[in-house]
Amino acid sequence: MPPDATSPPSLHREHQVRPFRPALWLPGPHLQTVGGKFLRPRPALELTRTRLRTPDGDFLDLDLAPDPDTDGPVVLILHGLEGSTGRGYVRLAMHELARRGILAVGMNFRSCSGEPNLRPRFYHSGETGDLALVVRELQRRYPGRPLGALGFSLGGNVLLKYAGELGDDAPERLGALATISVPFDLTAGTRAIESGAMGRLYTHYFLRSLHRKTRAKEALLEDLLDLEKVLAARTLREYDDAATAPLHGFPGAQRYYQEASSARFLHRIRVPTLLLQATDDPFLPLEALPREAMDRNPHLLPALTAAGGHVGFVGGPGPWKPDFWAEAEAARYLARLLAP
């Protein structure tokens, strides 16, 4: 494709992702996934929290890492389901970005910053209004500085959907994107995460947190939801059917999954975007990977690995010295595109 107004920059087209060498002592997708969670370091960072008020009377908490270069790029980081800016993968990404002279800003989705949000709603995989608000705020605070974004899992799905919704207008907002372990197809992903013994373990982990947040907001939610049904949910689909869908304007979980899946928006993305994804991700079946959409859009740079699990990507000679490929590669790409 010859360079023109709609083609990605040469730095994107020529970028070479370094190979991922999975740790031999963590074989298989589940060990990579669980190992990634428990082995990731949390680099010490003095974060500054700032609260952004939303038009509907709620709030979003942003956590800012120290600014290594007041003229350098800014990268917004979006965490995964029931995560926060306190998670190891976010802190490690902040560290990797800072090493390259980039200011990292972590966005906590509603209810994820350690304090219940104020409205009778939470967040979900397709909620892009809050992201749009934060992007505009960062543009206001850091005029003239290149702005990019990095999304993990659910946060990556939100980011890709947002970029696709913007279409040709996206380059006015964001200069480059990177995602790690995106559940592109929420129907297939939900089905995958709930199958098998490990799937039940993952489901229990997420539902325990979701139920806790629901109980904390019973007074706000009791007139809108069948709380007994919500708290009795034993699968993510049951929870989404009983809580996520009705709270956010969907007739049911299936419609929510269809409308929120980022695979539907990949063809419209016009921002240079790196997609780091393991084909053995237990949260997304291989057949659900939108390979054709990835290959047909020159603004997308898919980096598919045979191993890595879900936000795992653990390498290194042993548990005493692990290394984490995905955060480093995402930061390297964003630094190259935003501050060549």
Per the document, the length of the chain is 340
CA distance 326 to 93: 9
> Is 195 a known active-site residue?
no
Angle at 128 between CA 122 and CA 132, to 5 degrees: 115
Listed in order, strand segments (DSSP E) in 79-194 are: 103-107, 147-152, 176-180
Catalytic one of 12, 30, 95, 310: 310
Q: Are strands 59-64 and 103-107 parallel, antiparallel or unpaired?
A: antiparallel
Catalytic one of 84, 111, 153, 262: 153
> Is 248 a known active-site residue?
no
CA distance 67 to 46: 11
Angle at 16 between CA 15 and CA 19, to 5 degrees: 155
Handedness of CA 106, 111, 117, 120 (dihedral sign): positive
Select from 308, 15, 290 the least CA-distant residue to 176.
15
| Active site members | 153, 281, 310
